[in-house]
Amino acid sequence: MPVIRTAVAPPAARRRGGIPPYIPLLIPAVAFMLLVYAFPFLSSIVTSFLDQQGVPSLSNYRRTVDLYARDIIFTLLVSVSNTAGTILLAIALAAYLRVRNSRMSRFIGHVYKLGIFIPFVVVAQMMRTFLAPHGLLNVTLARTGFIDIDSPLQLFNFSGLTFGFMWKLVPFAILIIYGGFQMIDNSYLEAARSTGAGFFAMVARILVPMNKSSILVATVLVYAQIVSCFTLPYMLLGGRTPTTITVDIAHRVTYFRDYGSANSLGVISYALVLVAAAYYLKTSVRQYRQGADNA
């Protein structure tokens, strides 16, 4: 029986050598991204290398290092320590929600999502009320006899900032990590239970190794949010030093109209985030290549 072969006509755009029909649909979105994100990003980098006369110079960076070197180090310490604490706590809670099936785990599973939808400015105001020298926390501790209300805990500092960041970002990290944990088949957990593995063994040997990608995504996103956050450090630390880079940027623009130093601080914050982004891309590419080789 003869085989009838039919030729499939190429797309019209490919046949004529023209532009694919979906390209015009992407123009508004691409133009918006270039106008809102790419142009300010490149403009701030260029301006940071120009002095007040518009001459290429490193004077902005020298001034930034002289005035704000301590704040840059403080920003890095706050970002790294809070990211590590947030991810570790999120892994523990997400693993608890995945492994345990109790009334408490179901309650936590419903409640933890509430913090995701509260903006940072609201969280900052909540933290000011809760952590103030005569706020809710100190008054409660004083009434239970743990502290003297005349010598309250001073939490408008690194400790209070850590509490605020973790309160806000742990639910966000749980949402990402728990989603990855749910993709792990129950047979692995049942096999671990049958061999007598406890909760920590299942987390360390099954959940975390099989969910590195979502944990890495959560880590990068949490770190980027902490570096770029302005309202929480501004409202908790106020005019105290050291403070974060974002507060310094607002200070240079508002009081001195010094856009050159503000842009140099912005470039430094870009660099802090780009390090994490580069590590994420490198790890993702390596995992993709390993998966392709195994396939």
Is residue 93 assigned to a domain? yes
Is residue 6 assigned to a domain? no
Scored b (16 or more CB within 10 A) or e, 175-210 reads bbbbebbeeeeeeebeebeeeebeeeebbeebbbee
Report the CATH number at residue 164: 1.10.3720.10
Is residue 249 assigned to a domain? yes
- As given in the structure block, the two tokens for residue 14 are 């490919």
Quick check: 34 pLDDT over 50? Answer: yes
Please say whether the beta carbons of 245 and 261 come within 8 A. Answer: no
Is residue 175 assigned to a domain? yes
Q: According to the model, what pLDDT value does residue 13 have?
A: 46
Residue with tokens 């006369």: 53
What's the structural domain count of the chain? 1
Q: According to the model, what pLDDT value does residue 19 have?
A: 75
The range of the structural domain enclosing residue 104 comes to 58-294
For residue range 191-202, list pLDDT tens digits in order. 998 988 888 999
Query: Is the pTM here over 0.95, yes or no?
Result: no
Length of the chain: 295
Give me the chain's average pLDDT, please: 89
What amino acid occupies position 231? T
Q: What's the angle, vertex CA 137, arms to CA 132 and CA 139, rounded to 5?
A: 90
Cα dihedral 88/94/98/103 (nearest 10): 120
